[in-house]
Amino acid sequence: MPRRALVTGGSRGIGAAIAATLRQDGHDVVIVDRTIATTGEKGRDHRAYELDVSQFAAVERVLAEVEADGGPIDILVNNAGITRDGMVHKMDPVSQWQAVIDVNLTSAFNTVRCLVPGMRQRGWGRIINISSISGLKGQIGQANYAAAKAGLIGFTKSIALELAGKGICANCVAPGFIESPMTSAMPPDALRREAAGIPVGRLGKPDDIAAIVAFLASDQASFVTGQVWSANGGQYL
Ligand code: NAP
């Protein structure tokens, strides 16, 4: 059944693929992003809004505007994320640690806090949080990112339990290495080394993740909640 969906960080990479796939499935998809390149889009079709998801007051204001403009959001995909890699003994407490926790973890609380009351009232909802293989196994140079992505898993399992009786499912998807602007910023040698360690013999594609999100967002996924769906080409089992 077509619904209204919100994808954070939906203008590029994995988020753009998720938004496109949900649109193909017939959903009305809104994206929010820190910067929206096509500024004309908002006024025209109510589908793109500028928002820093790490700021609660801004999330509250913009999501109220999104729902007032086009109706309630039933599918929430928390995809926005950043990396600020560095070894822990050199990590800056603000620009690396706090920034990554705020954008990758606190953002999910912010959107869930604002949208879940409506989902509870309507008795239907899907929350899909994009975690990471780093949150499952840890990663050198990513103590901040791995902590945020692991935190997202605990957060998701807890809200899944809180919301299970209300028709709302909450799940994580944990991608491995996916071709996107985030990974193309990695040093080529490091990326080649990671790719060589993937049993299926390739990096993932944004569509590999979007297909899973589309299922978890569907009516058919009503018995799936509190789970972590890994898609990493067998890199971490
Ligand atoms: P990406 O290409 O860097 O895209 C991230 C998106 O998030 C961008 O559109 C960015 O918008 C947005 N964003 C960043 N900070 C934001 C903020 N404060 N408020 C609103 N939007 C913000 O990354 P990606 O590779 O597609 O990754 C998407 C998600 O998958 C992330 O959560 C990432 O951690 C996760 N993931 C990725 C991989 C991978 O290999 N690529 C693996 C595991 C998990 P701006 O351009 O405006 O900054």
What whole-number distance in Å separates Cα of residue 80 and Cα of residue 135?
15
Distance (Å) from CA 16 to ligand 1 centroid: 10
Contacts of 17 (CB under 8 A, 6+ apart): 205, 206, 207, 209, 210
Q: What is the pTM of this model?
A: 0.96
The reported pLDDT for the residue numbered 194 is 85
Q: Which atom of ligand 1 is nearest to the CA of 177?
A: 40
Residues framing ligand 1 (Cβ under 6 A): 8-9, 11-15, 33-35, 51-54, 79-82, 103, 130, 132, 175, 177-178, 180-183
145 has catalytic annotation? yes
The reported pLDDT for the residue numbered 38 is 54
What whole-number distance in Å separates Cα of residue 85 and Cα of residue 96?
7
Distance (Å) from CA 160 to ligand 1 centroid: 23
Tokens of 35: 């910067």
What whole-number distance in Å separates Cα of residue 10 and Cα of residue 18?
7
Contact 169, 194 (CB under 8 A): no
Contact 131, 174 (CB under 8 A): yes
3-state secondary structure at position 112: helix
Residues of the chain with pLDDT under 70: 37-46
Phi–psi pair at 222, nearest 5 degrees = -70, -10
The reported pLDDT for the residue numbered 88 is 98
Distance (Å) from CA 186 to ligand 1 centroid: 14
Contact 204, 35 (CB under 8 A): no
The separation between CA 142 and the C-alpha centre of its own chain, rounded to angstroms, equals: 18
The reported pLDDT for the residue numbered 37 is 67
Active-site pick, 49, 97, 124, 145: 145
The reported pLDDT for the residue numbered 39 is 44
Q: Which CATH superfamily is domain 4-229 in?
A: NAD(P)-binding Rossmann-like Domain (3.40.50.720)
Reported as a single tens digit per residue, the pLDDT across 113-132 is: 999 999 999 999 999 999 99
